Amino acid sequence: MSTPADVRAATPVPGSGHPPLLDVRGVRKVYDGRGRSVEALRDLTFGVAVGELVCIVGPSGAGKTTLLRCISGLLEPTSGEVVLQGEQVTGPPRGMAVVFQEYGRSLFPWMTVRQNVELPLKEKKVPRAERRRLVEEALEAVGLADVHTAHPWQLSGGMQQRVAIARALAYEPQVLLMDEPFAAVDAQTRADLEDLVRALWKRLGVTVLFVTHDIDEAVYLGQRVLVLSASPTVVLEDVVIDLPAERDQLTIRSLPRFAELRGHVYRLVQQAKRGGGAAASGPPGRAPEAM
Ligand code: ADP
């Protein structure tokens, strides 16, 4: 997959005439407990088209984790719905894989790298020969072809997170959800893993929804950045990231357009932290249909 994905970025889903692969419709979530209720999500509506890479940013407590849980079918919205390929999500859908921040806890330490990557395929009842091929391809794709007999604890944090990404890829998901996946690794590893995600996304054509609180990361990675307000949460703005399709850390991060977009998203997040609900002024790449 090369340019078509970035062409789609300029044509947000609501105006594209195609139904989105993932459709979040008026999702509201209220947590009830001990006589106190918390309205974590007020009204979230957005779509993600096939092959898009969309980032979600928002202040801490904005409901990013709640949203991902609703999308992955682990939590039932109080109202509204999540639709994947035309079907309402009511439990963990087969077509979805999630990469969490805490790679240390998401891999089984007693299993080798190969066994960790293979496990969901066994549960999916993929035949043995096919499993072998998928595991090898996924480990190759993340640059870990030579460590498949190692155990997770023998690897660095960045390598462990690569294993978690390989496990998600081997599953051949339609949608890959990533929940702050690089928050716990050092800056250089983080930059490498960001480039790995972009490379895999372009090569495999997988649809990615990437949650982060890091504004630079969201702008560097995404074709669109959804900025969430503070709780109770709505989408403050759907920002189209019109940076070149070919991205490398040094070139892209020194572009004036990168600085402009980052500044814009930063102002929105600041506004969200202050509890603002309206869109910030001077939108450089807004997708008005998606608001
Ligand atoms: P984020 O991931 O953006 O930091 P969360 O989704 O974790 O935000 O939380 C959003 C809001 O919902 C917060 O006010 C949080 O305290 C509240 N919340 C999250 N989980 C629960 C829960 N299980 N019960 C009650 N309130 C919760």
- Which residue's structure tokens are 């928050």? 183
121 CA → ligand 1 middle, Å:
31
What is the average pLDDT across 229-244? Answer: 93
68 CA → ligand 1 middle, Å:
11
Which band of pLDDT confidence, cut at 50, 70 and 90, is reported for residue 289? very low
The letter for the amino acid at 231 is S
Per-residue pLDDT tens for 47-64? 999 999 999 999 888 899
- Ligand 1 pocket, residues with Cβ under 6 angstroms: 31, 33, 38, 40, 58, 60-66, 231
Ligand 1 pocket test: which of 27, 29, 31 has the largest number of ligand atoms within 8 Å of its C-beta? 31
What is the average pLDDT across 247-274? Answer: 94
User: How many other C-beta atoms lie within 10 A of the C-beta of residue 182?
Assistant: 26
Instruction: Report the chain's mean pLDDT, rounded to a whole number.
Output: 86
In sequence order, the 6+-apart residues with CB closer than 8 A to the CB of 153 are 109
Residue with the smallest CA separation from ligand 1 atom 6 is 63
Q: What is the SS3 string spanning 59-101?
A: CCCCCHHHHHHHHCCCCCCCEEEEEECCEECCCCCCCEEEECC
User: How many other C-beta atoms lie within 10 A of the C-beta of residue 251?
Assistant: 12
Per-residue pLDDT tens for 15-28? 455 678 999 999 99
Q: What is the pLDDT of residue 290?
A: 33
38 CA → ligand 1 middle, Å:
8
Residue with the smallest CA separation from ligand 1 atom 14 is 61
61 CA → ligand 1 middle, Å:
6
Residue with the smallest CA separation from ligand 1 atom 5 is 63
Which band of pLDDT confidence, cut at 50, 70 and 90, is reported for residue 276? low
The angle formed by the CA atoms of residues 282, 288 and 290, to the nearest 5 degrees, is 135
pTM of the predicted structure, to 2 decimals: 0.86
Q: Which domains, ranges and CATH numbers included, belong to the chain?
A: 5-95+173-273 (3.40.50.300), 108-172 (no CATH)
**Phi, psi of 74, deg, nearest 5:** -90, -15
Residue with the smallest CA separation from ligand 1 atom 12 is 40
Ligand 1 pocket test: which of 38, 39, 72 has the largest number of ligand atoms within 8 Å of its C-beta? 38
